């Protein structure tokens, strides 16, 4: 297969940085895919999860995440390791960029809706009392987001008003504002909970909504911590700091956004106590199985030694 090598366009520091990215992505992708499969299996096949409204968007996010990790992250692992791209033809690079951008932004927009949905479930659950309301308010918005991203990026990539440059395959430096919006909406949601408690002078039903709040806090940690350094540098540039300061750091921190995809399934399991308990049972069973196999092997070896000694 013909390949194109981009090694010559990178300096030694960039090559070392890409090698470091290769090690991190390679160490995370297998646990991430296994966590996605386990979470999807539990959420889809378990009737208790399947009947809950708040599991619907989470299942869609996990499906998109699994597809992105299996396709795009695997390609980046190959590229960071070999500095070679098998996307030689301009159209193949265009199609790859189309799916990369579309799924990347789609996941962020869906998670923004995920936070809005939690707000509705906590404060306006009466909006979901009828079947028609659940269809309009709960089930249709994710489809609208998916269709919007599909149409928008189809026009951006395949009906451009300019000429695309395919000379190098380098990830563009794009930080969607949904990163900030999701975090701000999370803070607003938490303040709204406390304000509602103070206004009506009665305790919020923490036991009822605790799982939703803990889930969104745990998962939103990814959207707050990982993109914060490049966001801070961009903010300082807007405030007047020289663009030469921190520009190289910002370009390299672009790849940190991929950790969100890789860690999302793991954080999802960590945010759901039912999935954590089920995973602990599976790991305990595997540990017992391995221990039984080891004990059987030890007994077998001991019996063989006794038999050999007797024969002598």
234 lies in the same domain as 303: no
Per-residue model confidence (pLDDT) at position 2: 39
121 lies in the same domain as 19: yes
Per-residue model confidence (pLDDT) at position 87: 62
Per-residue model confidence (pLDDT) at position 233: 79
| pLDDT per residue as tens, the chain (312 positions) | 334 455 555 667 777 888 888 899 999 999 999 999 999 988 888 777 766 767 788 888 999 999 999 888 888 888 888 877 666 667 777 777 788 888 888 888 888 888 888 777 777 777 777 778 777 777 888 888 899 888 888 887 777 656 655 555 444 333 333 334 445 555 555 555 555 555 554 455 555 566 677 777 777 777 777 777 777 777 787 787 777 777 777 777 777 778 888 888 888 888 888 888 888 888 888 878 777 776 665 655 666 555 555 555
Angle between helices 56-68 and 12-45 in degrees, nearest 10: 140
Q: What is the pTM of this model?
A: 0.72
The CA–CA distances, whole Å, from 179 to 1, 112, 221, 224, 246 equal 39, 8, 11, 7, 20
307 lies in the same domain as 212: no
Per-residue model confidence (pLDDT) at position 181: 46
29 lies in the same domain as 156: yes
Per-residue model confidence (pLDDT) at position 31: 92
262 lies in the same domain as 281: no
**CATH code where residue 47 lies:** 1.20.1070.10
Segment holding 100, helix H or strand E: helix 90-123
Contact (Cβ atoms closer than 8 angstroms) between residue 57 and residue 117: yes
283 lies in the same domain as 148: no
Sign of the torsion angle spanned by Cα atoms 145, 147, 152, 153: positive
51 lies in the same domain as 74: yes
Q: How many domains does the chain have?
A: 2
Per-residue model confidence (pLDDT) at position 175: 37
The two tokens of residue 74 are 């695997």
Per-residue model confidence (pLDDT) at position 312: 57
The two tokens of residue 143 are 């489809």
Cα–Cα distance, 153 to 155 (Å, whole number): 5
Cα–Cα distance, 151 to 64 (Å, whole number): 17
116 lies in the same domain as 259: yes
Per-residue model confidence (pLDDT) at position 114: 82
54 lies in the same domain as 191: yes
305 lies in the same domain as 161: no
Domain of 163 in residue numbering reads as 4-167+176-271
244 lies in the same domain as 302: no
148 lies in the same domain as 295: no
> What are the DSSP E strand ranges found in 108-252?
none
85 phi, psi to nearest 5 deg: -120, 135
Cα–Cα distance, 103 to 58 (Å, whole number): 15
């Amino acid at each position: 297969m013909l390949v194109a090598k981009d090694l010559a366009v990178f300096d030694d520091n960039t090559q070392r940085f890409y090698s470091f990215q290769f090690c991190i992505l390679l160490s995370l992708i297998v646990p991430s895919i296994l966590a996605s499969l386990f979470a999807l299996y539990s959420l889809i096949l378990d009737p208790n999860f399947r009947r809950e409204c708040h599991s619907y968007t989470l299942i869609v996010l996990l499906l998109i995440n699994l597809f992105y990790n299996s396709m795009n992250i695997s390609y980046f692992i190959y590229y960071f390791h070999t500095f070679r791209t098998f996307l030689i033809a301009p159209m193949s690079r265009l199609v790859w960029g189309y799916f990369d951008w579309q799924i990347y932004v789609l996941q962020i927009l869906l998670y923004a809706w995920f936070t809005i949905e939690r707000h509705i479930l906590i404060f306006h659950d009466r909006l979901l009392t009828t079947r028609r309301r659940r269809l309009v308010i709960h089930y249709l918005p994710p489809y609208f987001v998916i269709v919007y991203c599909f149409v928008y990026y189809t026009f951006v990539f395949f009906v451009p008003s300019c000429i695309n440059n395919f000379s190098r395959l380098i990830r563009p430096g794009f930080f969607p504002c949904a990163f900030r919006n999701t975090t701000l909406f999370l803070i607003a949601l938490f303040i709204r909970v406390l304000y509602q408690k103070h206004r009506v002078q009665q305790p919020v039903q923490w036991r009822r909504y605790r799982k939703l709040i803990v889930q969104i806090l745990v998962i939103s940690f990814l959207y707050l911590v990982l993109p914060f350094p490049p966001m801070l540098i961009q903010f300082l540039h807007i405030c007047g700091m020289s663009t030469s300061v921190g520009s190289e750091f910002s370009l390299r921190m672009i790849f940190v956004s991929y950790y969100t995809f890789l860690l999302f399934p793991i954080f999802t399991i960590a945010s759901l106590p039912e999935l954590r308990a089920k995973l602990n049972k599976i790991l305990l069973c595997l540990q017992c199985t391995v221990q039984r196999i080891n004990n059987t092997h030890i007994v077998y070896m001991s019996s063989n030694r006794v038999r050999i000694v007797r024969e002598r």
